[in-house]
Structure 1
Amino acid sequence: MTAPIRDAARPFTGESLTALLPPGLRLLGLGEPTHRVEAFPDLRNELFRHLVEHEGYRSIALEIDCLAALVADAYVTGGAGTLDEAMARGFSHEWGTIAANRDLIAWMRTYNEGRPADDRLRFYGMDGPLEISHGASPRPALTALHDYLAPHLDLPWTRADLDELLGKDELWTNPAAMMDPAHSVGRTPEAEELRLIVDDLRALLTANVPLLTAATSSGEWWRAELRARTLAGLLRYHAGMAGPAPTRMDTMLALRDTIMADNLDAIVRREERRGPTLVFAHNSHLKRDRSSMRMGGRRSEWWSAGAIVSCHLGDRYAFVTTSFGGRGADVPGPDTLEGILSSLPDARSVIDPARLIEALDKKPAPRVPADYTYAALDPSAIDQTDAIVFIKEI
């Protein structure tokens, strides 16, 4: 390894990472290259504690169902219930079983004890109510939204009307619809009518925000708007599942990241007066350049949530990508970027992308990982990141 490459790196600490970030951030994206590897959420927890204690951050968002996350947030901010209940009901994708996530929720609850409400840490989900195998039924969110509005506005729909349009929940959650649009109910006449109703409910929420916040609270209105926004995205996603075009998977991937981007924009607006937000998700959801994946022999491409919010926030958004070297027998080649960075002396390093580009005497070869779920560093996109965090071995 040449000296300039060593000079581009520092041992990982919260201070060494934030030193590379632009001032005035509202949203810091910390990506992980693959899920369910303890090293990355552990590093996230360490960084978040530093950001809270030294940089004024007051919230974090994870790649989980934004509606389920309301349960975990209620616990974090001092609500009733137990940690076990928060982990079981406040996470999607079975990520409540991850030890680092449990540590995060427990630490946030402890930190918030005795603090005024406006200074307490908040916990968010950035994803929609979407699992790998299916999308959720709109019923829970639509029922809650109707129940919020009904005592204060003269709505033209009853819960019975909505139930009739919704039909059976198992029709919405049918896993066969993921690969076969014929099994989706996303474009039935009932689903199309529900999309119009949700659009009208969102308009009512906005038009009556002074009345509704006075009658309830700003927090309750925000949660109602979250449900309305989520319903609109969820119904669009179900319609995408029902699409017959060969590009339907591209559409579904793009719609999911659009939901994520809408949620992140809303979080930034809500947290504007309190402090910046850390968001932790897969690199493919936070990167600035175009995302891609191969499924069923076909390559899909779409713009990620990070690419979208970066256009909205400009230099108030920063993206930190993470990667690793060895993972058992999966060792990167010496001519790959991961192979080059594996020669760094520290177990965890923070790399300045600009200095790394200057230090490289030739373009590294792309890594072909043994694990298809791992997104290798793209040597051509180094300039699209504000910092790289590299773990030598996991």
Structure 2
Amino acid sequence: MAKRRVNRDAVSSWLAESAIVLRALEPKGDLDDLTPFATVLEGVQVVGLGEATHGSKEFFTLKHRLIEFLVRELDFTVIAFEAGRSVCRAVNDYIQSGEGTASAALTGVGYWTWDTYEVLALVEWLREYNASMPAQRRVRFHGIDSGIDEGAVQLVAKYLDTVVPHRTEAFREAIRTTNMGESSAGIGGLVGGSIAGTVRRLFRRKAAAGSVSPHTASRVLLDTAEFLRTERAGLVEASSVRDWSEAVESATELANAADIAAYPLLSADGCAVRDRYLADAVRELADDGERVAVWAHNGHVARSTVSRGVASMGAHLSEVYGSAYYALGLTFNQGSFQASRAGFAGNTGLAEFTVEPAVRRSVEALLAQPGIGDYLIDFRAARYKEPVMNWLTTPAPTRSYGAIVGFWPMVKKVTGSVTLADEYDGLAFIERTTRARSCALGGAW
């Protein structure tokens, strides 16, 4: 089959004509420039807000602005984060009632990717907004990932001891077998805890400490979570609705993480299981018809696949919600971001990475071609425009970086290929990014 030729000038003209140009990236001032986005999202219940890196200031500030718009103008009531379920409870408690502090709650999540001044500003805004609203209209903040916190282990164990003590020992043995007793275990936990520990887990898989296999242990934990769900009435009577709810949530997270950890670290199978559980968590939040904004990496929100060819969270959500799911990727032309540097002793830790303007024929280069700065573009509006659809359905080079970056991806300048029509309903394009400001480092490097 002959390779299709993309009419770049025609696509550039369409981008210039159709773009929702952003007057600002910082969450300050009015949101009038986002008004056309309301029409784009008519009939949409779940919005995936992606990012091409986990450490770009402008991605975080723009997503803050978008969330303000979704909440204020479109009645979105749930913010779902790519972070552990249990550890995000403190953030939700803070934005609901002011319990604790925003900084302590965010640091307690254990993901250095989100422990930044930009995300902290979002949490503080959510508290300010909720303080002005009646309880029934307040926004909720939930984690959807399977990173494990020791507090979740102890919470479930204590609950079992209280209501069904004969199940406690099997639960604890399963935890020991999967090595889940330490904070931030599992694939989701690769961005939690110390950077040195993160990198070590990439290169060395710990031996099982228990007496049963990891897959058997994961089945025990899955059975624990299922038991808590099916026996709800009796367990609530023996405890309380809140205690039961928190135990179910923590047990489900532990079970999911154990299932992921039963596969080789960062394997395609493990990644596929993780994304399925991410989608399941979003579905639980949206089951009552609430509108949900999901904060995650581009690879998770994409409608089709992640780079390893496995079904993404967005693929599962697309299957369930169809056009009521909107995948908005965020990408950039040039600039810097922070990530953990993959390496050995003396060459790890949070570092700044800088990329030059996008290479010719890449997705990002064409997005930059109109020269209109930062903007949103809706691909659904292009379905009857042949030159544009030719571009959207032709694979093109692109860049995408996760929480951990090695030397080789930076040298390559592009990290993969994407067919935009398959992956995204729209994109937010930012001309230049800068490094996010880490709270742990005091905003200075």
From the superposition, tell whether residues 256 and 9 of structure 1 become closer, same or farther in structure 2 (CA, over 3 Å).
Answer: same
1:276 to 291, 300, 311: 291
Please state if 1:75 is matched with 2:101: no
Q: Is the 8 A contact 2:302 2:314 kept in 1?
A: yes
C-alpha deviation, 1:49, in angstroms: 0.7
From the superposition, tell whether residues 352 and 315 of structure 1 become closer, same or farther in structure 2 (CA, over 3 Å).
Answer: closer
Please state if 1:291 is matched with 2:314: no
From the superposition, tell whether residues 43 and 164 of structure 1 become closer, same or farther in structure 2 (CA, over 3 Å).
Answer: closer
C-alpha deviation, 1:39, in angstroms: 0.6
Please state if 1:117 is matched with 2:145: no
Listed as ranges, the gaps of 5+ residues in structure 1 are 130-135, 243-247, 293-299
Mapped partners of 2:77, 2:184: distance in 1: 36
Mapped partners of 1:206, 1:370: distance in 2: 38
C-alpha deviation, 1:51, in angstroms: 1.0
Name the counterpart of 1:358. Answer: 386
Name the counterpart of 2:441. Answer: none
Please state if 1:326 is matched with 2:326: no
Mapped partners of 1:79, 1:341: distance in 2: 42
Mapped partners of 1:365, 1:353: distance in 2: 15
C-alpha deviation, 1:96, in angstroms: 4.5
Mapped partners of 2:167, 2:360: distance in 1: 64
From the superposition, tell whether residues 186 and 101 of structure 1 become closer, same or farther in structure 2 (CA, over 3 Å).
Answer: farther
Please state if 1:241 is matched with 2:275: no
Name the counterpart of 1:58. Answer: 77
Aligned residue type for 2:90: V
Mapped partners of 2:314, 2:120: distance in 1: 26
Q: Which moved more, 1:117-126 or 1:13-22?
A: 13-22
Name the counterpart of 1:223. Answer: 246
C-alpha deviation, 1:156, in angstroms: 1.4
1:302 aligns to what SS in structure 2? Answer: coil
Mapped partners of 1:329, 1:154: distance in 2: 55
Mapped partners of 2:282, 2:171: distance in 1: 32
2:123 to 98, 102, 105: 105
C-alpha deviation, 1:74, in angstroms: 1.1
Q: Is the 8 A contact 1:77 1:112 kept in 2?
A: yes
TM-score with structure 2 setting the length? 0.72
Aligned residue type for 2:55: R
Aligned residue type for 2:245: W
1:4 to 5, 14, 31: 14
C-alpha deviation, 1:388, in angstroms: 1.7
Cα deviations by residue, 1:117-138 (Å, 9 ceiling, x for unpaired) = 3321111112211xxxxxx47x
Cα deviations by residue, 1:178-198 (Å, 9 ceiling, x for unpaired) = 4445x3328851655543432
Mapped partners of 1:172, 1:72: distance in 2: 17
RMSD: 3.3
TM-score with structure 1 setting the length? 0.81
From the superposition, tell whether residues 171 and 322 of structure 1 become closer, same or farther in structure 2 (CA, over 3 Å).
Answer: closer
Listed as ranges, the gaps of 5+ residues in structure 2 are 1-8, 23-32, 186-196, 336-353, 402-408, 434-445
1:393 to 423, 432, 439: 432
Please state if 1:198 is matched with 2:198: no
1:68 aligns to what SS in structure 2? Answer: helix
Superposed structure 1 runs of 4+ greater than 6 Å apart: 373-377
Aligned residue type for 1:388: L
Aligned residue type for 2:397: R
Map 1:297-316 to 2 at 5 A. Answer: 300-316=308-324
From the superposition, tell whether residues 100 and 375 of structure 1 become closer, same or farther in structure 2 (CA, over 3 Å).
Answer: farther
1:184 aligns to what SS in structure 2? Answer: coil
From the superposition, tell whether residues 219 and 63 of structure 1 become closer, same or farther in structure 2 (CA, over 3 Å).
Answer: same
Count of matched residue positions in the alignment of Structure 1 and Structure 2: 368
1:71 aligns to what SS in structure 2? Answer: helix
C-alpha deviation, 1:382, in angstroms: 2.6
1:349 to 339, 356, 375: 375
Aligned residue type for 2:363: L
2:294 aligns to what SS in structure 1? Answer: strand
Q: Is the 8 A contact 2:126 2:139 kept in 1?
A: yes
From the superposition, tell whether residues 76 and 193 of structure 1 become closer, same or farther in structure 2 (CA, over 3 Å).
Answer: same
Mapped partners of 1:116, 1:342: distance in 2: 43
Aligned residue type for 2:329: T
2:361 aligns to what SS in structure 1? Answer: coil
Aligned residue type for 1:60: I
Please state if 1:367 is matched with 2:382: no
1:141 to 152, 166, 180: 152
Cα deviations by residue, 1:39-91 (Å, 9 ceiling, x for unpaired) = 111011101111111101111112222221111111111152122211221x2
Q: Which moved more, 1:230-239 or 1:110-119?
A: 110-119
1:260 to 278, 286, 308: 278
From the superposition, tell whether residues 362 and 18 of structure 1 become closer, same or farther in structure 2 (CA, over 3 Å).
Answer: same
1:145 aligns to what SS in structure 2? Answer: helix
From the superposition, tell whether residues 157 and 365 of structure 1 become closer, same or farther in structure 2 (CA, over 3 Å).
Answer: closer
Name the counterpart of 2:212. Answer: 189
From the superposition, tell whether residues 28 and 66 of structure 1 become closer, same or farther in structure 2 (CA, over 3 Å).
Answer: same
Q: Which moved more, 1:323-332 or 1:184-193?
A: 184-193
From the superposition, tell whether residues 221 and 14 of structure 1 become closer, same or farther in structure 2 (CA, over 3 Å).
Answer: farther
